[in-house]
Each structure stands twice: as structure tokens, then as C-alpha cells.
Amino acid sequence: MDFRVVAVEPGDEGLSVTWGGDRAPTIFEWFWLRDHGEDEASLDPATLQRRVDTFAIPAGIRGLGAEVEQDGRRIVVRWSDDGAPSTYSAARLAALAGLSAGDEVLAPKLQRRAWAGGSRPDPLPSAAFEAIMAGNAGLRDWLENIRVWGFSLVDGVPGTQEAAAELARRIGPVRETIFGGMWMLSAEIAEHDDTAYTTQYLAPHTDGTYSHDAPGLQLFNCLEFDGRGGESILVDGLAVAETLRAERPEDFDVLTRVSVPARYIEAGVHLRAARPAIRLDERGDFLQISFNNYDRAPFRLPKAEMMAFYRAYGELNRRVNDQANWLKVPLRPGMALIFDNWRSLHGRMSYTGKRVFCGCYHNREDFESRLRVTDTER
């Protein structure tokens, strides 16, 4: 949407900006404006890093005057401290006023699609390995799947760790953890004391609850399968959280407030972190689900708070383990699965035989960066 300024009016508190259409004017405080100029004296045009010295701005600064330029697309403000005039784009001011999506908003043209029960995606979101590797169009389709649905399958993936690494690097650097960068996952591997390295059933969970910054994405590439069972399980944490917010608001509130510790302990390693099971962003929207009862560390609260936590956490567990909310995916050689570990819970049915995966993690910010940059390059 094209936001243009039709008039500006300096006042005691700040600059009143009148927009085209029937939108209400926005007042931008003088100190804030002096701190957020887009001219070269205020903002480095190459790095987009702030040049203005925020801490040298006089507390009582105010503008002496302001003009609208470039057919409503730019504002120029002159200052009482004899500093150089500051310029502002109407588009950026509109975004910061909450009238439009700014460049910090992730894929503003895409809406996340919550799924559960009868709303599971059909067909399943999928992308072709060759298309992803060939150019931005295929990569963009893949990234959009992950953003919209919280996961995506990839077809035609060569059954090698090298191919999985090439695929992962289309998003960004592979994250190094105690498990390595690219790691192997099989019951035959005995390097780590983790239930994942067994043939047992794994209840849906998120990884890295013991990390202060849990992995943003997780990738599995099926290298070998000769057996029965072992289907991957996916649960949409966004759908679970939003239905819980609507149906049991008291439990939802507890899950957004109580910080739940988690730990990972093996020889020479003791990781520990804590955060609420459901995190919200500054607008109150769903940001992250962090749920792994296997790795939950001991903690105590006063009795009433502890029992409220157990009630809410139990309700979350019930919904996560309700098979009506599950999506089962039988991964076979040639197939990879990538999912948003801040949104999708994953698990595994028990199995017999041999099941060999390789996989890796990505940092959340690297995925978001690739989605933003690929959106502009396409």
C-alpha cells in the first residue's frame, strides 16, 4: 500500500503527520524523530547503522519546522540544536506507526496457516530438491511452505549426508551443537545419552529446550529404512496454543508466564536453560512453543502456583498428544523433512529394523533472513 503524507504540523509534543485517505494523524515525538533520521548524518547508507549520537540529543529538543517533499513520500525536519536537517521516508514512518508492515515483519504477504484435526494440509507441503538447488524460485517455494505450514517435505533428495548439507546451506549456515553440525541419527549410534537414539516411541516435543536459543529449524534426511513403523509425527504448536488461548485462557496465561527449566546431561556436558512453554511477541502473537517433558528439569513454585502450572502443563500435554492433532509422515530414502522447531513439535512412532537419518539445525534468525532476502531477490 502506498502511504503518502499530505501535511505536517509542528507542535509542543512532536510532529503531527497527516496521511492520505481517512487515516488519523500520527504524532511523532521530537526526541524520537531526532534519533531516527534517515539522512546520511543520522544513518549510514551502506550499513544502515545509526550515526546519530542518541545520548547527546538534548532532552528538550524540538523541530523548528518541517516540510513535505517528493509528492508526499518524504519529510524534512529542521532542528533547534542547529544540527543538519533530518529526512524521513513516509513508508518507513507509516510502518513504525503501525499502519503498514515494516521490513522487520517476516513475509508480510504470507499468513501462517494453523492446522489440526480436519484442517491438516492436503496435499502436504512439498518441494523438489532439484528446484530448491536450481534457483530462487524453488528456494522461495520451500521457504514459504515452512513459514505458512511450519514444515515442508523435500522430494528427490540424494541419500547422502553431503546432499543434506547442500540442501541445508540453501537456507544458511548449519548450526553447531554438542551433536555436531551435520549429525547421524540411528539406534545403532551410541554416542549420546538421548532417547532419540533408540527404537522407542518418542512423544511430540521440541528440541533444544535446554538451549537459551533453541534451534529455529530442524532437518531430517532419510538415508536408509528397512523395517516397520518409525513414522515421523508432527504437531502444529501454533494451532495448539491458539485453541488453548481461546478455550482455557487461564491455563494459557500460566504457560506464557511460568519459566520452565530444561537440562541435558551426559559425560562432560551439562546444558540448562529456562523459558515459558509458550512465548509471545511484543504484540501478543504466538512466537514459540517450548515443550519437552523428557528434558524438563526439576523446579519448585509455591503450592498454588505449582498446581496451576501442573494443570496447565497437563492440558498442553493432552492436546499435544491427542492423535487427532497429529500428522504422521513415513519418511523413506529420497525424502527429507524440515520443520520450524519454534512452532512444530515432532516425535516418532516406535519401529523395528533399521532406520538411519542424517540431520542438522539452523538458527532461527538465519531462516528469517533468507526468507526476507529471497523475497526481495525473486
Cell 492433532 belongs to residue: 325
Domains of the chain, each with CATH number or no CATH: 5-96 (3.30.2020.30), 106-378 (3.60.130.10)
CA-nearest of 96, 87, 93 to 37 is: 87
Q: Which residues neighbour 53 within 8 Å (Cβ) at sequence distance 6 or greater?
A: none
- Biggest distance spanned by C-alpha atoms of the chain: 77
What gap in Å lies between CA 356 and CA 17, rounded to an integer?
61
| Residuewise pLDDT in 10s, the chain (378 residues) | 678 999 999 999 999 999 988 788 999 999 999 999 999 999 999 999 999 999 999 999 999 999 999 999 999 999 986 778 999 999 999 989 888 877 677 777 789 999 998 899 999 999 999 999 999 999 999 999 999 999 999 999 999 999 999 999 999 999 999 999 999 887 665 565 566 667 789 999 999 999 999 999 999 999 999 999 999 999 999 999 999 999 999 999 999 999 999 999 999 999 999 999 999 998 899 999 999 999 999 999 999 999 999 999 999 999 999 999 999 999 999 999 999 999 999 999 999 999 999 999 999 999 999 999 896 554
pLDDT score for 106: 75
Report whether 261 contacts 309 (CB < 8 A): no
Per the listing, cell 509422515 goes with 329
pTM of the model: 0.89
Measure the CA–CA gap between 277 and 257, rounded to whole angstroms.
8
